[in-house]
């Protein structure tokens, strides 16, 4: 797709709000699935962005701390409607997931357990897998368009699978692509111009009783420095909330992270659950604001830099390498998702049927998710 294929009309704020609210309500499966669903909606269906521009925004989110899929939603809002779009897209994506997680937190406090909804993910994950694979296939021609970039993508996938930190792989891929392009790296060209102004200073939280300011600070600090998956979030929260402050037990924290994983939208809504447990509705709102606020700030700072990076030959080569590595990260996560989703004959059948409907009839991904959820419920009811 080139720029002439893009939708020329101006995106309205209600359009942005409706799209990302729907995704925040139905986007199960974690960041890779969220990114795939956004690709389907804003590149394939609405043609708001080109494949290349979408990849650049995805790479920018990988180079800054915070929840990648939420930051991608915020980036898309920024690209379509500036400051207003940035706020509308981000808030619309977060609020539905926050409300659903808050409902789980209420049930947990009231009944002492998380409601059993394993049947939901049992049916949804297999059909989501097809959406993710389709997104990877669509992005590959741009991200791995040369032999050098294909080699970089393969090496990136290998190193991530071996346990090398994602940020190290991304930066190494960018530096390698820059070296392959034989373009001298100027001080203002490379990733440092994007990363260094955004690197937050690590700070020590305040120990003591649960107060709203202390709760806000713990989650603000976490959102400002965290790279990686929900498992990295678990490590950060455990260090603060269990070991240092003693606000939660190990079991409560594991339940909180589990709810973040099984609900739609951003995994970081784990903060909503923890905040409710510690300080009720006010705590849920304060913790959610704290963990997501850095994402809005980072995107506001980095968003205007993305076109400038693409316009600079040296930075463009670096960004090409990061794009290839970002695609490799998605591929590795997809393999992991496949192992978790395709566990028996019914889930394999759901995955095959979902892929057929997606590729042959170009069925909207929301209908696939609802159909997968219905199938999971039916199979659960049948035992």
Structural element, H or E, at residue 113:
none
The angle subtended at Cα 237 by Cα 73 and Cα 90, nearest 5°, is 15
Residues 284 and 305 in one domain: no
Please check whether residues 281 and 321 belong to one and the same domain.
no
Burial 299-315 (b: 16+ CB within 10 A, else e): beebbeebeebeebebb
* DSSP secondary structure code for residue 246 in this structure: -
Segment (H or E) for 326: helix 313-341
Question: For the chain, how many residues are written?
Answer: 383
Contact 267, 31 (CB under 8 A): yes
Decide which of 265, 294, 323 is a domain's last residue.
Answer: 294
Is 16 found in the same domain as 91? yes
- 9 and 105 share a domain? yes
Instruction: Say whether both 365 and 315 belong to one domain.
Output: yes
Does residue 307 share a domain with residue 178?
A: yes
Residuewise pLDDT in 10s, the chain (383 residues): 555 455 556 789 999 999 999 999 988 877 888 888 999 999 988 999 999 999 999 888 888 888 889 999 999 999 999 999 999 999 999 999 999 999 989 988 888 766 666 676 688 778 877 777 777 887 788 788 888 899 998 998 899 888 887 778 888 988 998 888 864 444 444 433 333 333 333 333 344 588 999 999 999 998 887 775 555 677 778 888 988 889 998 888 877 877 877 788 888 899 999 999 999 999 999 999 999 999 999 999 988 888 887 778 887 888 888 878 888 887 887 787 788 778 889 889 988 888 888 778 777 767 777 888 888 888 888 87
Q: What is the DSSP string of 125-179?
A: HHHHHHHHHHHHHHHHHHHT-SHHHHHHHHHHHHHHHTT--HHHHHHHHHHHHHH
Residue 265 main-chain phi, psi, to 5 deg: 80, -165
Angle of CA points 291, 297, 300, to nearest 5°: 145
For residues 349 and 213, state if they share a domain. Answer: no
Residues 6 or more apart in contact with residue 199 via CB below 8 angstroms: none
In angstroms, the CA 265 to CA 33 distance is: 10
Assigned token pair, 160: 């991530």
Q: d(Cα 379, Cα 309) in Å, to the nearest integer?
A: 50
Number of domains within the chain: 2
Give the model's pLDDT for residue 212.
93
Sign of the CA dihedral 137, 141, 145, 149? negative
Whether the Cβ atoms of residue 232 and residue 222 lie closer than 8 Å to each other = no
Torsion region of 228: left, alpha or beta (phi above 0 gives left; psi -120 to 50 gives alpha): left
Q: Are residues 289 and 312 in the same domain?
A: no
Q: Which residues of 340-350 are buried (b: 16+ CB within 10 A; e: fewer)?
A: ebbeeebbeeb
Nearest one of 26, 22, 28 to 340, comparing CA atoms: 28
- pLDDT at position 89 is 96
Task: Give me the sign of the Cα torsion angle 131, 367, 259, 71.
Answer: positive
Q: Counting beta carbons within 10 angstroms of the beta carbon of residue 250, is it exposed (0 to 12), middle (13 to 18) or buried (19 or more)? A: exposed
Range of the domain at 25: 3-197+300-381
CA 283 to chain CA centroid, Å, is 24
**Same domain? 237 vs 190:** no
Whether 213 and 183 map to the same domain: the answer is no
């Amino acid at each position: 797709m080139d720029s002439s294929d893009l939708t020329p009309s101006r995106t309205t704020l209600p359009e942005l709000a409706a799209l990302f609210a729907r995704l925040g309500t139905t986007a199960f499966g974690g960041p890779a699935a969220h990114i795939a669903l956004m690709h389907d909606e804003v590149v394939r269906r609405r043609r708001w962005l080109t494949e290349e521009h979408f990849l650049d925004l995805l790479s920018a989110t990988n180079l800054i701390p915070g929840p990648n899929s939420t930051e991608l939603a915020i980036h898309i809002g920024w690209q379509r409607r500036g400051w207003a779009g940035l706020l509308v897209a981000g808030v619309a994506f977060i609020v539905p997931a926050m409300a659903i997680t808050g409902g789980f937190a209420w049930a947990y406090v009231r009944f002492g357990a998380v409601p059993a909804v394993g049947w939901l993910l049992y049916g949804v994950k297999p059909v989501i897998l097809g959406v993710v694979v389709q997104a990877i296939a669509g992005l590959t021609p741009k991200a791995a368009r040369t032999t050098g970039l294909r080699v970089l993508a393969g090496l990136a996938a290998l190193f991530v699978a071996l346990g090398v930190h994602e940020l190290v792989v991304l930066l190494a891929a960018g530096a390698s692509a820059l070296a392959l392009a034989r373009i001298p790296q100027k001080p203002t060209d490379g990733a440092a111009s994007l990363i260094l102004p955004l690197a937050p200073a690590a700070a020590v939280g305040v120990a003591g009783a649960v107060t709203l300011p202390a709760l806000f600070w713990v989650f603000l600090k976490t959102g400002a420095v965290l790279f990686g998956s929900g498992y990295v979030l678990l490590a950060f929260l455990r260090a603060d909330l269990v070991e240092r402050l003693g606000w939660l037990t190990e079991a409560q924290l594991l339940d909180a992270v589990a709810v973040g994983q099984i609900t739609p939208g951003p995994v970081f809504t784990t903060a909503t659950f923890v905040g409710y447990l510690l300080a009720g509705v006010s705590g849920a709102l304060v913790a959610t604001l704290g963990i997501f606020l850095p994402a809005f700030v980072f995107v506001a700072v980095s968003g205007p830099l993305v076109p400038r990076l693409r316009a600079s030959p040296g930075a463009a080569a670096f960004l090409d390498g990061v794009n290839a590595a970002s695609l490799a990260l998605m591929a590795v996560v997809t393999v992991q998702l496949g192992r978790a989703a395709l566990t028996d004959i019914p889930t394999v059948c759901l995955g095959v049927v979902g892929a057929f409907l997606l590729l042959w009839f170009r069925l909207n991904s929301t209908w696939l998710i609802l159909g997968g959820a219905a199938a999971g419920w039916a199979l659960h009811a049948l035992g």
